[in-house]
Amino acid sequence: MSERVKEVIRLYEKHINRGLAKLLKFAGVEAAEHRAFGMYVVDEEGNYYLDCLGGFGALNFGHRHPKIVEAVIRQLNLMPLSSRMLFNGVQAELAKMLSELLPGDLQYCFFCHSGAEAVEACIKLSRLSTGRRKIVAAQNSYHGKTLGALSASGRGIYRHPFEPLLQWFVHVPFGDVEALEREVDEDTAAVILEPIQGEGGVIIPPDDYLPAAREICSKHGALLILDEVQTGFGRTGANFAMEHYGVIPDLVALAKSLGGGVMPIGAAVGNERSFSSLFENPLIHSSTLGGNPLACAAACAAIEVLQEEKLSERAKASGDYFLSSLQRVADEHSELIKEVRGKGLLIGVEFYDADVATIIVAGMFRRHVLVAYTLNNPFVVRFEPPLIIERKQIDEVVSSFAGALMDAKKLISQLA
Ligand code: PMP
């Protein structure tokens, strides 16, 4: 390790979060990133890493996609932040592009910076437009860590230290239609769901779940909020995961890859019903820097790239290949691996033992391939590369996975 990297880690320990530094070091990470392009990250010492984590879904377009970078530089030289007084054409253009890209009548956009903020906006808009208070969410869900988004999230260890959280949030098992039927009533403002639980460990619901959720919401006059922060922009082999199920929500939360892997930006996009109360009091929810021209320029270019490069179709084909390659390796290690599952390029490998999952993440890092476990489920290692990944890079990831498994087996037999 170079003196420079030692210094960066020391600064993390002294000024950022020594617990986080410990966690990263435990996973074998003793390197600091310096630059990146496409599928690769380069550290301060010039080592290359194949990025199969994709910033938890924020890098669907890869690092520094040239068209997106160019759009941002152009906007940087014009006007990066808004005056907040005049209309802004770039934001208006992005809102139009999003409403055209999304299915159905999702037409109005509120812009912010992150997934959690997009979820906050969805929760507030649902309460505002229905005049109701109850929010039904799923166990094991992940919607972000601000207090409102956390109230919707379904993992105890993130929630308990902050309780009491917001009132009138209830959690039901994900994928269980009857549980939704029991819980959704005339007091329910919204049901909030991820179409596929990402941080929960890549959990794909039964095919009839989202259509049933839509029906139940409509029957009781509740809104359906879909959180596509992680599943959006081609990740699962469709522009949005809702398209697999033919379901159109009243509100959708977007972030991560909306910024094209270059800028942070989030959005709550909704239909007439979910937004109309906001029009009566347009400043009841706002953000100073949300929807700034720089981030909007990145998002506009990202949507163009998504379509021009047919990234959703690519994610589907690459995902099928990736999944079957991982399955072949998993079949040889069935005593360690419980299941390989995924849709498009949102793939999870579930281990019987969370420590083995950590050893695999560390083993792949040693081989310069980036993967990580899912935030709500440490038994699951996620493979979530930029959608531009090529076959030979998938082969490289799979062979590094196989190598890490062999190392793990040796280690386990030494410890036995
Ligand atoms: N919703 C989902 C489905 C997510 O996966 C995440 C982040 N993993 C969030 C919300 C929160 O996004 P952010 O970290 O940008 O606040």
> If you measure from the C-alpha of residue 229 to the centroid of ligand 1, how many angstroms do you get, rounded to a whole number?
6
> If you measure from the C-alpha of residue 62 to the centroid of ligand 1, how many angstroms do you get, rounded to a whole number?
18
pLDDT tens for 320-338 read: 999 999 999 999 999 999 9
> If you measure from the C-alpha of residue 5 to the centroid of ligand 1, how many angstroms do you get, rounded to a whole number?
29
Ligand 1 contacts CB of residue 144 (under 6 A): yes
Kindly report the protein residue whose alpha carbon is nearest to atom 13 of ligand 1.
Answer: 115
Ligand 1 contacts CB of residue 376 (under 6 A): no
> If you measure from the C-alpha of residue 114 to the centroid of ligand 1, how many angstroms do you get, rounded to a whole number?
7
- Report the share of the chain in percent with pLDDT over 90: 97
Q: What is the pLDDT of residue 355?
A: 94
Ligand 1 contacts CB of residue 142 (under 6 A): yes
pLDDT for 26 beyond 90: no
Of 159, 93, 169, 112, which Cα lies nearest the Cα of 137? 169
Of 393, 392, 388, 394, which Cα lies nearest the Cα of 314? 388
pLDDT for 32 beyond 90: yes
The predicted model gives 112-132 an average pLDDT of 98
Kindly report the protein residue whose alpha carbon is nearest to atom 12 of ligand 1.
Answer: 115
Ligand 1 contacts CB of residue 115 (under 6 A): yes
Which residues in 124-158 are b (16+ Cβ under 10 Å) and which e? bbbbbbbebebbbbbbbbbbbeeebbbbbbbbeeb
Q: Are 263 and 294 in contact (CB under 8 A)?
A: yes
> If you measure from the C-alpha of residue 133 to the centroid of ligand 1, how many angstroms do you get, rounded to a whole number?
23
Angle (CA) 292-232-88 rounded to 5° is 20
Ligand 1 contacts CB of residue 56 (under 6 A): yes
pLDDT for 416 beyond 90: no
Q: Which domains, and CATH codes, for the chain?
A: 31-64+310-415 (3.90.1150.10), 66-308 (3.40.640.10)
Ligand 1 contacts CB of residue 116 (under 6 A): yes
> If you measure from the C-alpha of residue 116 to the centroid of ligand 1, how many angstroms do you get, rounded to a whole number?
6
pLDDT for 20 beyond 90: yes
Atom of ligand 1 nearest to the CA of 198: 5
Kindly report the protein residue whose alpha carbon is nearest to atom 5 of ligand 1.
Answer: 230
> If you measure from the C-alpha of residue 55 to the centroid of ligand 1, how many angstroms do you get, rounded to a whole number?
11
- Report the share of the chain in percent with pLDDT over 70: 100
Q: Are 175 and 140 in contact (CB under 8 A)?
A: no
pLDDT for 27 beyond 90: no
pLDDT tens for 59-108 read: 999 999 999 999 999 999 999 999 999 999 999 999 999 999 999 999 99
> If you measure from the C-alpha of residue 411 to the centroid of ligand 1, how many angstroms do you get, rounded to a whole number?
34
pLDDT tens for 228-284 read: 999 999 999 999 999 999 999 999 999 999 999 999 999 999 999 999 999 999 999
Ligand 1 contacts CB of residue 158 (under 6 A): no
> If you measure from the C-alpha of residue 108 to the centroid of ligand 1, how many angstroms do you get, rounded to a whole number?
21
Of 122, 382, 107, 370, which Cα lies nearest the Cα of 231? 382
The predicted model gives 213-239 an average pLDDT of 98
Ligand 1 contacts CB of residue 358 (under 6 A): no
Ligand 1 contacts CB of residue 114 (under 6 A): yes
Between CA 150 and CA 166 the distance in angstroms is 9
If you search the block for the tokens 């068209």, which residue do you land on? 67
